[in-house]
Structure 1
């Protein structure tokens, strides 16, 4: 599996976990991966993106 596919799968997994809709089969596959780095990176990027979206929404609503 190429590194790009690993990161894409990590982002899919992290995003579905962030939303709380990840199924147990994907969860098991994630823990069987060789390294946790792609999942950590995807989680950090998604959380930072989520915070930036919240800041933008609050800035747009409040003058």
Structure 2
């Protein structure tokens, strides 16, 4: 089976997720830095952080009762 190339949005979110977890490969990092603009990565990173913090708040409120 042939694999479809991942879309730009998929690659963006994969890169952001890997960077947040600290598991991004050197090849992926080089590919990210070759992009013309860092703005999509910055925005996606901020969105991911806000979602993560929101999830932690919801979980802590649920556990605290």
TM-score (norm 2): 0.82
User: Cα RMSD between the aligned structures?
Assistant: 1.0
> Which of these two proteins has the greater Rg computed from alpha carbons?
2
Structure of greater relative contact order (alpha carbons < 8 Å, 6+ residues apart)? 1
2:53 to 40, 43, 51: 51
Contact kept? 1:14, 1:43, Cα under 8 Å: yes
Stretches (4+) displaced over 4 A: none
Give structure 2 stretches of 5+ with no counterpart: 1-6
Structure richer in helix, relative to its length? 1
TM-score (norm 1): 0.84
Give structure 1 stretches of 5+ with no counterpart: none
